[in-house]
């Protein structure tokens, strides 16, 4: 039974009885109270208690075009009416899938001209990792199997994605496949010590090269990294980092996979994070912002040098999903790209990101709880610190961040806490007034947090 918000059905108890949530301690959830989100409009959400909440995270970094866009609804309805589903196996395609592949190839960095569709970021990552293995097998180098990722990297929740990522809790529970290793992330604030950011960027890249030498380049298939590490706390690499990684992967003949699931489609102020950082990927995984989260869709964008091996030499590639190239999802993605390009949302991300960061700097640079305000485009993080001068973390990392996150949502603002970094990534359509509101709500919440921990 579906019901309107606030009507007789108690969604909280129905949910508790039957619904298992992602990344959730269910005992804690059931002891507390699940929040029922009922509506979205622009940058705002509404819950079943009637609260209006500014979504400073664009859902899970995905609602780039904002909530409730009638154009996207119409695109889905029109395609559902015409052809709601057909697969892309067995020598068939559909117009939206073909058109979207062409459009993505046009948008992607030079040389990236081929697209494999999937449904989620995790599936795209799995596809890229399997493809890396298949690529080397096809070229007669099956021993090239290792994948190098980074600590605090997040590449999804499938077993391969969890293994490639650097989230220790995920490894501990079930995500620790052989042939995956992690190295230090380019996290200057946390690991840079006395080095300048530029020195540290080279140092962090060298960890990748050292690991390749330790494993033997003949055993390494790929390096995978998010252009900036989103779920790891918006870790923005120093500008010296990616050029070194480009060089290292090329010199050691290792595929470079840029996981653009968060960074893609304007989040960083460029269409892709690879454009922003000058990354030269062999494969890019995209999801989230490709449909602004309205419908599940993801893709692996492949460079000619990888795709041509698959096309000309592999024979049948035994891989694919029932919903690969789903016509409705692709139709929504095409319309979403119309919005992103038509409304200049990538450029808007630069301008409004600058406005937002400047205001955050104004209120937080001298705030006793804040050690660092960082960001590019419309993604960023505010690092809470026990001692801003020495960049000292709080003991029991994450406790203060969670406290701050709870104050935020109770004040009507969604910010996410990653350890003790408060991260933000609002819809790219956010206005000046909404930025003012976001900053005011954040300031109030940070002040309340400081009162509790000082
Ligand atoms: N890769 C990155 C960089 C992500 O941030 C995420 C999700 O947050 C994923 C992969 C997994 O995407 P999904 O949750 O759609 O499977």
Q: Check whether 385 has a pLDDT greater than 80.
A: yes
Pair 72, 35: CB distance under 8 Å = no
CA of 169 to the centre of ligand 1 (A): 16
CA of 10 to the centre of ligand 1 (A): 31
Q: What is the DSSP string of 269-290?
A: SSSSHHHHHT---SEEEE-GGG
CA of 348 to the centre of ligand 1 (A): 24
Give the span between the Cα atoms of 48 and 44, in whole angstroms. Answer: 14
Q: Supply the pLDDT for residue 8.
A: 45
Q: Please list, in sequence order, all residues whose beta carbon lies within 8 angstroms of the beta carbon of residue 316, skipping any fewer than 6 positions away.
A: none
* Mean pLDDT across 405-430: 98
Nearest residue (CA) to ligand 1, atom 1:
155
For the stretch 136-179, pLDDT in tens is: 999 999 999 999 999 999 999 999 999 999 999 999 998 689 99
pTM over 0.95? The answer is: yes
Give the span between the Cα atoms of 153 and 233, in whole angstroms. Answer: 9
For the stretch 332-341, pLDDT in tens is: 999 999 999 9
Q: Specify the higher pLDDT residue, 420 or 391.
A: 420
Share of the chain above pLDDT 90, in %: 93
Q: Supply the pLDDT for residue 305.
A: 98
CA of 229 to the centre of ligand 1 (A): 11
Strand 416-418 relative to strand 298-303, pairing: unpaired
**With a 6 A CB cut-off, is 287 part of the ligand 1 pocket?**
yes
Strand 413-414 relative to strand 52-55, pairing: parallel
CA of 5 to the centre of ligand 1 (A): 30
Which stretch of 172-186, 310-324, 330-344 has the lowest confidence by average pLDDT?
Answer: 172-186
Q: Check whether 5 has a pLDDT greater than 70.
A: no
CA nearest to 226, candidates 193, 182, 258: 258
**With a 6 A CB cut-off, is 122 part of the ligand 1 pocket?**
yes
Confidence class for position 352, pLDDT limits 50, 70, 90: very high
Nearest residue (CA) to ligand 1, atom 7:
156
68 φψ region: left (φ > 0), alpha (ψ -120 to 50), beta (else)? left
Nearest residue (CA) to ligand 1, atom 13:
121
Strand intervals (E) in 128-282:
146-150, 180-183, 220-225, 255-259
Give the span between the Cα atoms of 263 and 227, in whole angstroms. Answer: 7
Average pLDDT across the chain, whole number: 96
The atom of ligand 1 lying closest to the CA of 119 is 15
Pair 438, 426: CB distance under 8 Å = yes
Give the span between the Cα atoms of 204 and 349, in whole angstroms. Answer: 28
Q: Supply the pLDDT for residue 2.
A: 52
Q: Supply the pLDDT for residue 390.
A: 87
For the question of an ipTM over 0.95, the answer is yes
Q: Check whether 4 has a pLDDT greater than 70.
A: no
Q: Supply the pLDDT for residue 9.
A: 64
**With a 6 A CB cut-off, is 226 part of the ligand 1 pocket?**
yes
Ligand 1 binding pocket mutation candidate from 155, 160, 284, 290 (most atoms within 8 A of CB): 155
The atom of ligand 1 lying closest to the CA of 298 is 15
**With a 6 A CB cut-off, is 154 part of the ligand 1 pocket?**
yes
* Mean pLDDT across 30-56: 96
Give the span between the Cα atoms of 133 and 267, in whole angstroms. Answer: 30
Q: Supply the pLDDT for residue 31.
A: 93
For the stretch 104-142, pLDDT in tens is: 999 999 999 999 999 999 999 999 999 999 999 999 999
> Encoding tokens for residue 347?
């450029």
Pair 453, 401: CB distance under 8 Å = no
């Amino acid at each position: 039974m579906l019901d309107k918000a606030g009507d007789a059905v108690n969604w909280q108890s129905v949910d508790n009885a039957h619904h298992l949530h992602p990344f959730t301690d269910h005992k804690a959830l059931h002891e507390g109270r699940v929040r029922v989100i009922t509506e979205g409009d622009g940058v705002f959400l509404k819950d079943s208690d009637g609260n209006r909440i500014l979504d400073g995270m664009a859902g899970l970094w995905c609602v780039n075009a904002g909530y409730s866009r009638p154009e996207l609804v119409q695109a889905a309805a029109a395609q559902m009416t015409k052809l709601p589903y057909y697969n892309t196996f067995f020598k068939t395609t559909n117009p939206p899938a073909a058109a979207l592949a062409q459009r993505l190839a046009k948008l992607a960095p030079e040389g990236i001209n081929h697209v494999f569709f999937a449904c989620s970021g995790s599936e795209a990552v799995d596809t890229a990792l399997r493809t890396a293995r298949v690529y080397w097998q096809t070229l007669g180098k099956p021993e090239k199997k290792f994948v190098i990722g980074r600590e605090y990297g997040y590449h999804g929740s499938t077993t391969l994605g969890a293994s490639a990522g650097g989230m220790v809790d995920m490894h501990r529970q079930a995500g620790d496949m052989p042939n995956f290793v992690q190295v230090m992330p380019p996290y200057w604030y946390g690991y840079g010590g006395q080095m300048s950011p530029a020195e540290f960027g080279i140092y962090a890249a060298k960890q990748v090269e050292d690991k390749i030498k330790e494993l033997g380049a003949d055993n390494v298939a790929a390096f995978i990294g998010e252009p900036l590490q989103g779920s790891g706390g918006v870790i923005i690499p120093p500008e010296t980092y990616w050029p070194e990684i480009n060089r290292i992967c090329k010199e050691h003949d290792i595929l470079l996979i840029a996981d653009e699931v968060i960074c893609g489609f304007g989040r960083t102020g460029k269409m892709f994070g690879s454009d922003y950082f000058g990354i030269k990927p062999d494969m890019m995984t995209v999801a989230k912002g490709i449909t602004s989260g309205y419908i599940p869709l993801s893709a692996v964008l492949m460079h000619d040098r990888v795709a041509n091996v698959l096309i000309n030499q592999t024979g049948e590639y035994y891989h694919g999903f029932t919903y690969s190239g789903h016509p409705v999802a692709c139709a929504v993605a095409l319309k979403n790209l119309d919005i992103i390009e038509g409304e200049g949302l990538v450029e808007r991300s630069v301008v409004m990101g600058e406005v937002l960061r400047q205001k955050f700097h104004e209120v937080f640079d001298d705030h006793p709880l804040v050690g660092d305000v960082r960001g590019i485009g419309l993604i960023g993080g505010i690092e809470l610190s026990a001692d801003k001068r020495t960049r000292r973390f709080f003991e029991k990392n994450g406790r203060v961040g969670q406290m701050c996150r709870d104050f935020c949502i109770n004040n009507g603002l969604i910010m996410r806490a990653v350890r003790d970094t408060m991260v933000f990534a609002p819809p790219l359509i956010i206005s000046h007034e909404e930025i003012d509101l976001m900053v005011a709500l954040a300031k109030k919440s940070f002040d309340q947090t400081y009162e509790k921990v000082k």
